[in-house]
Amino acid sequence: MAKTFTIFLTTAPYSSENTLTAVRLADAALRKGHNVNLIASGDGVYCFLKGQKARGLPHAGDLFAELISRGLKVYL
């Protein structure tokens, strides 16, 4: 039976591991067939800005775009 997970992200995309942790949790839940909501608030909204470049790190927007294509629901 599918469960619904809600992730609350409030930190900037490249200031800590929080963004990558949110991506990994959402990815794992989606792979298991669960529903996933992500609420981005405060600095977490910056994870969804286009054109950001972080040297040596994956682009947060690209990571979330792939998850959105698989069913992630995002609320800013």
pLDDT of residue 75 exceeding 90, the answer is yes
CA dist 56 and 5 (Å) reads 29
Which domains does the chain possess? 4-75 (3.40.1260.10)
For 4-26, what is the mean pLDDT? 94
pLDDT digit string (tens) for 32-72?
999 999 999 999 999 888 777 778 778 898 899 999 999 99
The 10 Å Cβ neighbour count of residue 17 is 9
User: In this predicted structure, what is the pLDDT of residue 35?
Assistant: 98
pTM of the full structure: 0.90
- Calculate the alpha carbon distances from 74 to 3, 46, 56 in Å: 17, 13, 25
User: In this predicted structure, what is the pLDDT of residue 16?
Assistant: 87
What HEC string does 47-67 produce?
HHCCCCCCCCCCCHHHHHHHH
DSSP letter, residue 50: T
Two tokens, residue 34: 């669960």
